[in-house]
Amino acid sequence: MSDAFENRRKELEEAFFAQHNQKLLNHLKELKKQSLTKAAIGAMSGISDDAVLEKLVALKLNTETLAALMLYPLVEVAWADGVADGKEKKAVLEASHNLGIASGTEANKLIESWLDERPPATLHTAWESYVKALLQTMSAHDKDALKKSILGKARDVAEASGGILGLPPKVSKEEAAVLKKLETAFG
């Protein structure tokens, strides 16, 4: 009878360690997945700053949705006055489509979700960290081109719902403040 107990004890012990090993393997797979995501984001953007990459991974962005992050300023301007109206949403989505983000993609869905529900302020911090790190990898000419492109598209969103009766589009003071804040990220 002691052999039966000994065999059962070994079975339980092996089952425990098998379950424990599986948990460890799952944890390692998750760490490896995160590591690959950081590596992929780093390879795509040229950013090597681990703290910035960690912020991006924490946002659960991947290489596809990283493109959406570059357009976050447009979303932030759309929400400047507390409401992203239809014209502003349309301007953001048109800009994203013009930059190659197709309807139905993860990046497009992410942008649409940001337009439906105001993103948290932490997203601005992550975007700003990303831009500052990205700028370190670029030439002066490319930095200027990126700044003009992003801020120009953001201004287009700000002007989308302004102006009436044929008067020039008007940017609200809230939108102007957001545009100024976005400009400071570019140095």
- The rounded distance, in Å, linking the Cα atoms of 153 and 168 is 17
- The rounded distance, in Å, linking the Cα atoms of 182 and 80 is 12
- The rounded distance, in Å, linking the Cα atoms of 105 and 46 is 23
- The rounded distance, in Å, linking the Cα atoms of 38 and 130 is 13
pLDDT at residue 19, as a whole number? 66
pTM over 0.85: no
CA 93-94-95 angle, to 5 degrees, is: 90
3-state secondary structure of 30: helix
pLDDT at residue 138, as a whole number? 87
CA nearest 134: which of 34, 55, 31?
Answer: 55
Q: What is the pLDDT along the chain (187 residues), one digit of tens a residue?
A: 567 767 766 676 666 655 655 665 565 455 445 455 677 777 767 778 888 888 877 777 766 677 888 899 999 999 999 999 999 999 999 999 998 899 998 889 999 999 999 999 889 998 999 899 889 888 899 999 999 999 999 999 999 986 554 455 688 899 999 999 999 999 8
Give residue 100's region: left, alpha or beta (phi > 0; psi -120 to 50): left
pLDDT at residue 46, as a whole number? 74
pLDDT at residue 144, as a whole number? 92
CA distances from 142 to 34, 134, 136, 148 (A): 30, 11, 11, 10
- The rounded distance, in Å, linking the Cα atoms of 65 and 50 is 19
- The rounded distance, in Å, linking the Cα atoms of 112 and 108 is 6
- The rounded distance, in Å, linking the Cα atoms of 160 and 154 is 10
pLDDT at residue 17, as a whole number? 56
